[in-house]
Every structure is written in C-alpha cells, then in structure tokens.
Amino acid sequence: MERNKKIVIFTYDNFPFGGAPANFIRYFAMALAQQNLDVEVILPTGNNYGCNVEVSGKRKGFTENIPYKHLFFKKHPRNYIGKFLDIILGLILPFFYVFKANFKKKIDKIIVYNTSVSITLIMLFIKLIFRIKIIIIIPEFYEKPKCKYFSLSLLKWYNFYFGMKYLLRYADGYIVLSTYLKKYLEVTLKVNKPVFILPNIMDPLNFSTTESKPFISGKITIGYTGSPTRKDGVMDLIQAFSVLHKKHPATHLLIIGDVINGNSLIPQLKEEANKLGVAESITFTGLQAFSKIPELLNACQILTLTRPNGIFAEAGFPTKLGEYFACKKPVVITGVGDIPYHFKNEEHLIIVTPEDIESIVNGFEKLIMNPELSEKLVVNAFHWMDLHLNYKNIGNKLAEFIIK
C-alpha cells in the first residue's frame, strides 16, 4: 500500500490564528489534508502579537486536525536578547527538525510561506543537503519604505527584495496570490519553474451560517475588517463616508480590527472622523478574536475595501473578500490588482476608482438606492467564491501541483 506523501509547511508568521498569513496557511493545510496528504505546519519562531493581545495557543497541537509545532518559543519575546535568540534559532532549528523528521518519515515536499534572504537561504540549504524539493508561497510584494535615513523598515525591505530577486529562482515551484506576482517571476526574474496562482482561500461555513442581526436597528451599516493601515485605504473610506452620511443620515460605518503588533491606529482614525464631523456615526471595535468576525460582518448591510493604488494592492489578493462574499452581503471595492481581472462591475460587486472619494460614494449609493442590484451581486459573488476560494473545492488542483 502506497504511503501518504508528507508535506511540511514552514511559516515565520503567526499560526494557527493572528492575521491573514495564519488564515491562509490554515486553509492551505486543510485543503491538502483532504487530499490524503500528511501535512504538518512548523513554526521556527514565536507568534508575534501586540502587547495587549492575548491569543491562546500551545507550543504544539492541532487545529482542524492539522498538527503544528513551534520549534522553540511559542510567543516572540519582548526583550532584545529574547528577540535576537528567537531570530537566530528560527534560522538554525529548521535544519535539525528536517534532519530528525526525515528519519521517521521521508519528507516529500517542503512549503515555505513568504520569502526573505535569511529564510530562503536556510531553506535552500536544507534542499541541498536533504534533496527535498522546495515550493515557496509568495503572498505579496512590499513597497520600498520612503525613508530619509536608514531604518529597520528599510533593512526588512532589502531582506525581502534581495531574497525575491536573487534567491527565489533556486526553488522548485511557486504559489502566488496574483497575476502580478506570476508575471514578476516569469517576466522580470525570467524564472522557468511551475507557478500556481492561488488567491486567499477560506471556509465559507465560518461566515455563511451566522445569523444576520443588524448592528444598529434602522441603520444601513457599512463594514470593513482588517488592519486599518494606509494600504487598505481606510482614510479614504472615512472621508467617503462623511460625504455619504450627509446625503444619507441613516448610514453607519463599522471598522473592525486594528494592527496586530505595534501602536494602535484607531486614535488617528478617530481624529480624522472628528475633523469630518462623523465620529458619532462610526464604530471602531479594535482587535477582535477570529471567532467574533463573522457575527460583526453579518451585522452589516454593505461590506467594503477601498485600497489605494500601489504595488501592494497590485500584487495581493484580499483575504477579506472571500469572507465578505460568504456573508452574502453586497461589496464595494476599488478596482486594483486582480479585481477587474476576476470580476465584472455590477455583476459580482461594485468596482469603484481607487483614491476617488466621489466614485466610492457613488458606489455605496448604487446599493442603497437599488436593493435588487444588491440581491443579484450577492448570488453571483457567493457562487464565484464557492468555486474559486472554498478550500474544499481547490484541494485537488493544489495537491496535483505540489506532488507532481
């Protein structure tokens, strides 16, 4: 009897919860496990959450029947010595893990989430020593920070960029979230290796089974969830809402989430809302547990993402979009990245012009004034999501790509 092939996924991001990378890897692993592959997730470094964020977890355990294991720290230390130790061990311990695990059961493929010089080097070293093929997941492309002087953020960018430019070509295959990243590999880097486009997948049952109760009775609540940074255009959203609210006073804006690690962004967003005179019509929930998100999204009547133009938007595919579709709510989104490639305006969702306040306002008004349009969008979007983003429906093609 042929044994199940063993796939080891290395991630240096949070797992099993704690942001978009954790969600992606969780569903990715679940999709492979359903194809009778022996999947394990390995975390060389500790989870990195903000000081005021408490997320339960163990050094090793199971999530959705997927085994995972921290090689040393469970949480990223707060002191400098601990941080340095976490980084160094995160580069050394994967070699010893593979050395030991390969004796118990041969590892057929190693999957690595994200890329940098340091991470890619150690994985390529493992590939060379143990003759195991490596597939790298590239979820996004970071913009170079606009720094007057050298900084830590600039150092991190160079670590990412040089890993992309000089080391990626030595992997055996790639999984990317967008056509932009596929073209970058094939045209810019001239990589002649297999590339699989996989937008952020999810489980619609986590969102579509939640009862829909209005966030505020008698109000049309527009909802956003995520880290409300510049890349998600939340300032544009607040400005557009201030214009919309003057024309339609029965509207409300719900902003769910905050940055996972670092200083909260909510004070500056509240300041902007105060300046525009709409602070009382906007609710900021702050960080929420993953289990709370479906209830909050389903309490909205419209969901939105107003990303501005930029490399980040072009290269990525928003995790939240599948979640929005699963909630069976109409969506207003800016036409960046692969959005115009995958969707038709007023067929799946409302596509508006990035960084154009008037266009964003008009997008909301189309849904407010036309309930029948909303109903059509919801049906078409849910069908698209189930076909392309439901982890249960993409596992076969994904497994074929990985094990071939």
Q: What is the pLDDT of residues 359-397, one digit of tens each?
A: 999 999 999 999 999 999 999 999 999 999 999 999 999
Q: Cβ contacts of residue 66 below 8 Å, gap of 6+?
A: 16, 26, 29, 30, 33, 39, 40, 41
Q: For residue 29, tell me if it sits in a domain.
A: yes
Render 86-108 in DSSP notation, one character per residue.
HHHHHHHHHHHHHHHHHHHS---
**Three-point CA angle 365, 334, 234, nearest 5°:** 85
Are 128 and 237 in the same domain?
no
Are 67 and 89 in the same domain?
yes
Q: For residue 342, tell me if it sits in a domain.
A: yes
Are 250 and 372 in the same domain?
yes
Q: Is the pLDDT of residue 54 over 50?
A: no
Are 70 and 170 in the same domain?
yes
Task: List, for residues 157-174, the tens digit of each pLDDT value.
Answer: 889 999 999 999 999 999
**Three-point CA angle 324, 330, 334, nearest 5°:** 80
Name the one residue in this structure whose structure tokens are 């596509």.
Answer: 351
Residue 32 belongs to domain with CATH number:
3.40.50.2000
Dihedral, 147, 151, 156, 158 alpha carbons, nearest 10? 60
- Mean pLDDT lowest for which of 204-218, 233-247, 333-347, 388-402? 204-218
Q: For residue 1, tell me if it sits in a domain.
A: no
- Burial of residue 83 (CB within 10 Å: 0-12, 13-18, 19+) is middle
- Which domain covers residue 354, as residue numbers? 205-388
- Burial of residue 190 (CB within 10 Å: 0-12, 13-18, 19+) is exposed
- The C-alpha atoms of residue 226 and residue 240 are separated, in whole angstroms, by 18
Are 152 and 215 in the same domain?
no
Are 16 and 157 in the same domain?
yes
Are 383 and 397 in the same domain?
no
- The C-alpha atoms of residue 124 and residue 94 are separated, in whole angstroms, by 11
- Beta pairing, strands 220-225 & 60-63: unpaired
| 298 phi/psi in degrees, rounded to 5 | -70, -15
- The C-alpha atoms of residue 88 and residue 75 are separated, in whole angstroms, by 15
Are 279 and 349 in the same domain?
yes
Q: Is the pLDDT of residue 12 over 60?
A: yes
Are 311 and 172 in the same domain?
no
Q: For residue 181, tell me if it sits in a domain.
A: yes
Short-list 107, 121, 108, CA closest to 168: 121
Are 196 and 209 in the same domain?
no
pTM over 0.85: yes
Task: Please say whether the beta carbons of 23 and 319 come within 8 A.
Answer: yes
What's the average model confidence in pLDDT over 301-323? 93
Radius of gyration of the chain from its Cα atoms, rounded to whole angstroms = 22
Domain total in the chain: 2
What's the average model confidence in pLDDT over 112-132? 94
Q: For residue 242, tell me if it sits in a domain.
A: yes
Are 221 and 173 in the same domain?
no
Are 302 and 184 in the same domain?
no
